[in-house]
Amino acid sequence: MRPKILVTSPYPQFTQLVNQVARERQLDVKIIEALLEKAAKLVYEEVQSAEYEVVVSRGGTAAAIREVVDIPVVTAEFNDFDLLRALWQAKNFGDKIAYLGSAYREAYEFDELMEIIGVELKQYTYRNSNDFAEQISRAAEDGFKVVISGAEWGQSLANDVGMKGMIIYSSLRSVTQALERAEEVLSIRRRDKEYSRRLSTMIQAVDEGVVCVDAKDNIIFANEMAEDLLKFNCSQASGNKIRDDKKVLLKLLKLPMGAGQKCFINGTDLVVNRAKVSDQKEYFGEVFTLQKISQLQQLEQKIRKESHRKGLVARFSFADILTQDEAMGDIVEKAENFSGVDSTVLIIGESGCGKELFSQSIHRASNRYNGPFVAVNCAALPEELLESELFGYEDGAFTGARKGGKPGLFELAHGGTIFLDEIGSISLGVQARLLRVLQEREVMRIGGESVIPVDVRCIAATNKNLQKAVRRGDFRSDLYFRLNVLKLELPSLKDRSGDILLLAEHFLAEFNQKFGKKINGIPEDLVAWMQAYSWPGNIRELGNFMERLVILTDHGTLDRKWVQQLIAEADEGIICDSKNNGRRIAVSIGTLEEMEKQLINAINEKAQGNRSELAKLLGISRTTLWKKLNNQEGSD
């Protein structure tokens, strides 16, 4: 489709040039031969009746047209050469020449020109038709003999008062340049329209209401969802200032700035976000986004279900921490206080004493409780795999990488908490990347070129003395101080002997329900042994002990035979370990998988978390070791 251009012409020769250029450039042009207010009136009528896209006009006429139409107006001014040519011709009729120019065009400096041409020049400016005629009469009164202007009407008026009227004719080049600019404006305008159409279509697809107002509270856009929510025909109001009769929109304007504003409109509870739109220089207006509260609740339920499906949830809370020990109660109170802030927490304690239980409880009690809880055992993964799991990777980052890449655990934990268990076992290289994530709150995937902001709280845990590791050079001091902001030191079970019976009864009830048993109580002699036993495996060992007892008991009371056998095995393990000065390791009888796990954990402590040394002591490869550790983590 050819562009539709409307042109105003001040004289017939201008019309001829426009027609000539239009034919050559194959433009759809309509020409109106009129000036100033008359031309503006005719252009307005044409624009109302047909779909013109741009107007080409001159001087004061162009200014008058801009007041009445909302489409672009391109000015087709004559150039300096056109003016000079007209002055040279006018010199033949007198040495006092009046120049009639539009007040909307920059005034000429005639001093040098007068010296070159050898004539007296004076400029008279006009704004409308009355000014035009009056300025010609004033020039005659001032004794000027020649008047040059850009319109045939000016020539006629000058002749009527006894002056010589001459026209400043636009050259073919001037007209061509004007129409070329009109085509450029059309091209830009059409690109903008196409962009606006696409943007509008995209915003219409957004599953929330969007209302945009300009700096004067004029509605400039509203999508269909906004109309449905507000029960208001926003499209009819577009471009109109919000008035008292638009009560719905006025209610929006009374809301405070910011996100999450609750508003009740037309029987519906809405959440409204109100934001100002501006840059450093100019305020453009405001944008309102609206959603039903019921819709947000459904979305929250969907996210929670998805998080449960992925396992990214914390199952335990502070109510699950059972204790009668005063010191342990103080630790729980301290952890509850830690829940109220976002600072990093370092939990120190022996294996099996409840470090993850505390981390989950802190998450559940924090303002991140609706966010994901992501736990990773840093000792269970080889260095290369741990790095890709923590930070993710891009498509093709390495051989075997998942097509399309994979988000890391820090990305999955966005808005929630990440729990880094056995933090003391990670390599110095991973420590450096971890430190940057904790400092900058942004992560870069392996093979990636851009950073991804993450909002994550970090809780780390270890059974090692990190201060000694720092002195040995095995752990970065800057990472240690970054982690050691809030510290919890959990006691071993032998240091809270008053809780042993409480926990044993809890496990008894739990396994009764799990295995369909009805075992009543724990004999006093077993209680005495439990309180005297050192429980090197802590609460985990106690739970395993009670589980085996319940499984082996068929009657309502614990079977004495199995009790004595399990006690003897536990005591024998402690005696053998002390007599052999660590050269022999005792494990409790259980399934092959359980005993293998005990063996690996015990030797891992002797190897001080060094996976290469652990693999060497076990006589297996690092890959086989990783698989076993990974299987253990999955079974937990």
Residue 621: which pLDDT band, with cuts at 50, 70 and 90?
Answer: confident
Lowest mean pLDDT among 169-183, 235-249, 367-381: 235-249
Least confident of 153-162, 361-370, 519-528, 593-602: 593-602
Q: CB within 8 A of 23, min separation 6: which ones?
A: none
The strand ranges marked E within 394-471 are 406-407, 417-421, 442-443, 452-453, 457-462
Q: Which two three-digit tokens encode residue 68? A: 């009445």
Cβ partners under 8 Å of residue 608, min gap 6: 464
pLDDT at 31: 92
**Helix then strand then coil, % of the chain, to nearest 5:** 50, 20, 30
Contacts of 63 (CB under 8 A, 6+ apart): 102, 104, 127
Flag whether pLDDT at 260 surpasses 90: no
What is the C-alpha separation between 104 and 125, in angstroms, rounded?
9
On whether both 18 and 95 belong to a single domain, the answer is no
| Residue 448 counted as domain residue | yes
Tell which of 296, 320, 350 closes a domain.
296
Closest to 425 (Cα-Cα) out of 487, 354, 377, 373: 377
The pTM assigned to this predicted structure is 0.47
Residue 367's alpha-carbon distances to 259, 309, 456, 578, in angstroms, are: 17, 22, 12, 47
Q: How far is CA 266 from the centre of its chain?
A: 31
Q: Are residues 485 and 558 in the same domain?
A: no
Instruction: Reduce the DSSP state of residue 168 to 3 states and report it.
Output: coil
Tell how far CA 622 is from the center of its chain.
Answer: 41
| Lowest-pLDDT range of 219-233, 386-400, 577-591 | 577-591
Exposed, middle or buried by CB within 10 Å (0-12, 13-18, 19+), for 297? exposed
Three-state DSSP class for residue 255? coil
- Say if residue 187 is exposed, middle or buried (CB neighbours under 10 Å; 0-12, 13-18, 19+): exposed
User: For residue 575, is it within any domain?
Assistant: yes
Q: Residue 73: give its domain's CATH number.
A: 3.40.50.2300
| DSSP helix/strand/coil, 405 | coil
399 and 444 both lie in a single domain: yes
Q: Is position 342 within any domain?
A: yes
**Domain membership flag for residue 304:** no
Residue pLDDT, tens place only, 107-135: 667 777 777 777 888 888 888 888 888 98
The answer as to whether 193 is a domain residue is no
282 and 324 part of one domain: no
Q: Check residue 2 and give its pLDDT.
A: 55
Share of the chain above pLDDT 90, in %: 25
- Confidence class for position 582, pLDDT limits 50, 70, 90: very low
Residue 302 lies in a domain: no
User: Quick one: 343 and 424 in the same domain?
Assistant: yes
In this prediction, residue 633 has a pLDDT band, given cuts at 50, 70 and 90, of low
Asked whether residue 566 falls in the same domain as residue 592, the answer is yes
- Are 321 and 409 part of one and the same domain? yes
Burial class (CB in 10 A: 0-12, 13-18, 19+), 26: exposed
Note whether 437 and 425 are same-domain residues: yes
User: Is residue 337 a part of any domain in this protein?
Assistant: yes
For residue 79, the model assigns a pLDDT of 80
pLDDT at 361 over 90: yes
Strand, helix or coil at 504? helix
Instruction: Tell me whether residue 382 is in a domain.
Output: yes
Top mean pLDDT of 136-145, 395-404, 563-572 is at 136-145
pLDDT confidence of 423, banded at 50, 70, 90? Answer: very high
Q: Are residues 509 and 466 in the same domain?
A: no
> Which of 51-65, 284-298, 405-419 has the least mean pLDDT?
284-298
Q: What is the pLDDT of residues 459-491, one digit of tens each?
A: 999 998 999 999 999 999 999 999 999 999 999
Which of 72-86, 181-195, 435-449, 605-619 is least confident?
Answer: 605-619
Q: What is the mean pLDDT of the segment spanning 138-150?
A: 89
146: pLDDT confidence band, cut at 50, 70 and 90?
A: very high
Residue with tokens 């020109």: 113
Q: What is the CATH number of the domain that holds 354?
A: 3.40.50.300
Average pLDDT over the chain, rounded to an integer: 83
Q: Do 321 and 374 lie in a common domain?
A: yes
Number of residues that this document lists for the chain:
636
Number of structural domains in the chain: 5
pLDDT of residue 581: 43
Is the confidence at residue 395, as pLDDT, over 70?
yes
Q: Which of 238, 261, 296 is the last residue of a domain?
A: 296
Q: Among 60-69, 235-244, 333-342, which is the least confidently predicted range?
A: 235-244
Same domain, 339 and 454: yes
Q: How confident is the model at residue 539 (pLDDT cuts 50, 70, 90)?
A: very high
At residue 212, the pLDDT reads 85
pLDDT at residue 580 is higher than 50: no
The mean per-residue pLDDT over the stretch 401-430 comes to 86
Based on the domain organization, do 100 and 233 belong to the same domain?
no
Residue 579 is predicted with a pLDDT of: 40
90: domain CATH number is 3.40.50.10660
Beta 392-393 vs 442-443: how paired, if at all?
unpaired
Last residue of a domain, one of 470, 489, 508: 489
Q: What is the CATH number of the domain that holds 251?
A: 3.30.450.20
- 486 phi and psi angles, rounded to 5 deg: -115, 130
C-alpha atoms less than 13 angstroms from C-alpha of 326 in its C-beta half-sphere? 0
The DSSP bridge pattern shows strands 373-377 and 417-421 to be parallel
Alpha-helical regions (H) of 120-211 = 129-141, 152-160, 172-205
What range defines the domain where residue 40 resides? 4-77+174-184
Tokens of 48: 């109302």
